[in-house]
Amino acid sequence: MTEFWLISAPGEKTCQQTWDKMMAATTRTNNLSTNHKFNIPDLKVGTLDVLVGLSDELAKLDSFVESVVKKVAQYMADVLEDNRDKVQENLLANGVDLVTYITRFQWDMAKYPIKQSLKNISEIISKQVTQIDNDLKTRASAYNNLKGNLQNLERKNVGSLLTRSLADIVKKDDFVLDSEYLITLLVVVPKTGYPDWQKTYETLAEMVVPRSSNLLYEDSDSGLFSVTLFRKAIDDFKHKARENKFTVRDFQYNEEEMKADKEEMTRLSTDKKKQFGPLVRWLKVNFSEAFIAWIHIKALRVFVESVLRYGLPVNFQAMLLQPNKKTLKKLREVLNDLYKHLDSSAAAIIDSAMDIPGLNLSQQEYYPYVYYKIDCNLLDFKL
């Protein structure tokens, strides 16, 4: 499972005892979870008022940073396109996979100096992640425009003969050009209508050049025929063709325009390739930065909440549990039994909720112990 429960409980005689008790309850006999100590350094506590205010601010910051982490991950998958199955190997934190980073979490003293107040540290994180979010919007917008323009041009070159660009199908030799009187039209004929076309095209209007029709291209449904006639007969010919279910395409052979289209497509394709590498590198670096920031927020929240709940001096053990999928409910019950003495009102809410069928406990997410969930499944699709 990619889900972790980050919890804390007050230190007993020592924090090691708290840890041992939790290990005994969750792993020694029943293998409910895989557990790790979660190291939070000695942070500056500050005043109670500040902690209460900070508790709310950190909850909002947690949601915001999680949303940015998910956005960067999702955009990485979008950018990788056909290789999106490789996205997971690019979603690293400090060069290691996310599970390894969380289970071996070490506070980054250089990025978030613990001599600073808790409020300052949260502001550093907020600024940093807001910058990543803004940069992502700018970069994604530029790359998406480029990709969209390229896709529009590519789309013109696929599809049925009724709608697709004909520039890469026809050649100069297929047309009568620079004639004052004659013009070559291109007509889409359903395959079932080939015999009709051959029988009737010369008589669809006056002044059609005899035997001037050639099949230039076929797809699965239709063929593209050329036909040459006098300019003054165009309207009449188009009208009669329509009655016979032949479609005259509105096309003029213009070498300059066709060359410009091809050059534009080459330019966009080259630009996209050029931008792809640096963009993926930026996404990797900033995913790592945002994810690291997110886990530091979780650490801050555990610290603040533990001080608010368990009081001073600071004395608690933070623990990271990776639940086994089949034993989630059992693990929750064991933890509630272990810690219900910490907060009888929370225990009462949980006990009564367990008796009410259909009540979703996770909406409350309040337990006698400090608890935060970390879910490392950050993508909207299954790989």
What is the DSSP code string of 115-182?
A: TS-HHHHHHHHHHHHHHHHHHHHHHHHHHHHHHHHHHHHHHHTSS-TTTS--TTT--GGGS--S-SSE
Residue 211, phi-psi category: left (phi > 0), alpha (psi -120 to 50), beta (remainder) = left
Look up residue 26 and give its amino acid: T
Q: How many degrees, rounded to 5, is the angle at CA 322 between CA 101 and CA 293? A: 35
Residue 379, phi-psi category: left (phi > 0), alpha (psi -120 to 50), beta (remainder) = beta
Domains defined for the chain, CATH in brackets = 3-150+269-375 (1.20.1460.10), 175-252 (3.30.70.100)
pLDDT at 343 (0 to 100)? 82
pLDDT at 137 (0 to 100)? 98
pLDDT at 246 (0 to 100)? 97
pLDDT at 7 (0 to 100)? 97
Nearest alpha-carbon partner for 224 in 175, 263, 153: 175
How many helices and strands (H and E) does the chain possess? 10, 10
d(CA 377, CA 283): 17
Q: Which two tokens stand for residue 216?
A: 């230039």
pLDDT at 381 (0 to 100)? 58
| Mean pLDDT split into 10-residue runs, the chain, 383 residues | 92 94 90 95 93 96 98 96 90 96 97 96 98 98 95 85 89 94 97 97 96 95 96 96 96 89 92 96 98 98 96 95 92 94 69 49 72 91 52
pLDDT at 58 (0 to 100)? 98
pLDDT at 138 (0 to 100)? 97
Which secondary structure element, helix H or strand E, spans residue 200, and what is its range?
helix 194-200
Residue 95, phi-psi category: left (phi > 0), alpha (psi -120 to 50), beta (remainder) = left
Contact 62, 297 (CB under 8 A): yes
d(CA 88, CA 383): 9
pLDDT at 154 (0 to 100)? 85
pLDDT at 361 (0 to 100)? 45
Residues 6+ apart with CB under 8 A from 207: 229, 230, 232, 233
**Which residues face 371 on adjacent strands?**
7
Cα→Cα distances 74→140, 282, 291, 346, 377, Å: 11, 14, 13, 37, 11
Nearest alpha-carbon partner for 244 in 227, 265, 268: 227
Residues 6+ apart with CB under 8 A from 135: 282, 286
d(CA 114, CA 120): 10
What is the DSSP code string of 11-63?
A: -SSSHHHHHHHHHIIIIITT--EEEEE----------HHHHHHHHHHHHHHHH
**Which residues face 225 on adjacent strands?**
187, 215
